[in-house]
Homo-oligomer: A and B are copies of this chain.
């Protein structure tokens, strides 16, 4: 293990990564570089600096980066262009953040001359896979340290004992029976484990932190508009905003109206089923809005192809394959389809649900034609008699099959 000289740790400043930081120093006798990303998880990040310093990390080895705009612009929005849902329901809030963290960790490793990286994901989950596939894709020679798979701190009590021995602060809530694993960023908050492990038991309301209970949401619906340009949201209620501001604003609407709660049993890449709770307030609104504008501006052939490719695309992101050629190929196809996805969607927010109630687009983007669809006179654009030939030729092979069934 003496070949580990310097390691970049994905560091939150919380109990687990604080223990890891100390454990890395003790186990590998190496220099530890901490990297703390602001992905909009809603926590103060400066305390992480103080803790790292206290743990003996050199000031120049502490990296705290605000990645919110990059996260939204280069990860969340491209994913939303695909209407990505894993297993029909999950908006991939954790999965989409991992590649960005991996990428930044590798960049820092190259910058500081580290030859290893480390993370705090456990050995049963998806996140270890996502982090490490990212690391290896971006630096095939990097060494990866996954403490949860290596150390002997395999129970909560041993971890806490280690912390106390090493003077790491253990807050009261960490001692109790809190959900073992949570994750948060601008797009979502997730929880797994403990009280959620029995999939027949309803998720207790106290597990939710990002949305009001729909029953306590306003009794009056609220309407908002979202403007899209080339597949990405650019304005809310007519006010232009940066990607991160778009998502933060939608998060506020979602929180208020109790939108985006999901209780799910899902299939992990490592082969087991797990039960989780997700809150994706702004993302849920965004997805509905994006589908809404596509309804008007996306061609049927493009839309159906997107729908068929989407499950694979979502699976790739879920499995940590963001930096794979096949994800990039699918992205190229999806992005090509979004060139004319420009217009405005009107949404109704009410007690846990969001629905498209109106969409409009300029004539240079709109494919919906009242003239064509009308039951009234359509001025000759569509000749109803064409339908006969259309049907008869689509039916021809079915008729030949029918003749065969009758014995020729």
* A interface with B by C-beta (< 8 Å): 83, 87-89, 122-124, 128-129, 132-133, 136-140, 146, 148-149, 154-155, 180-181, 193-194, 197-203, 214-215, 219-221, 261-267, 270-275, 291, 295-296, 299-308, 310-312, 315, 321, 323-326, 328-330, 332-337, 340, 346, 348, 350-353, 355-360, 362-370, 372-378, 382-404, 406-408
Contacts and interface: CB of A to CB of B under 8 A. Distances in A.
Contact of A139 (B357, B378, B402): B402
B368 A199 contact: yes
26 contacts: A87-B295, A89-B291, A122-B384, A123-B387, A128-B391, A129-B394, A133-B394, A136-B395, A140-B400, A146-B388, A149-B384, A154-B377, A199-B360, A200-B346, A202-B346, A261-B355, A267-B397, A271-B400, A272-B369, A272-B396, A273-B295, A301-B397, A325-B401, A353-B353, A362-B408, A390-B390
Given A129-B394, A330-B305, A336-B328, A404 B351 contact: no
Copies in the complex: 4
A interface SS class: mixed
Contact of A358 (B128, B201, B305): B201
Contacts of A194: 375
A367 B311 contact: no
A1 to B, nearest CB: 15
Given A375-B181, A396-B270, A402-B136, A304 B311 contact: yes
Contacts of A181: 375
Given A199-B359, A388-B386, A399-B140, A301 B325 contact: yes
B302 A326 contact: yes
Contact of A315 (B136, B201, B304, B366): B304
Contacts of A261: 355
Nearest first, the 8 closest Cβ-Cβ pairs linking A and B are A389-B389, A123-B384, A271-B396, A363-B408, A386-B389, A267-B300, A140-B399, A265-B295
Given A352-B350, A375-B193, A397 B272 contact: yes
A302 B368 CA distance: 32
Contacts of A376: 155
Contacts of A146: 387-388
B301 A271 contact: no
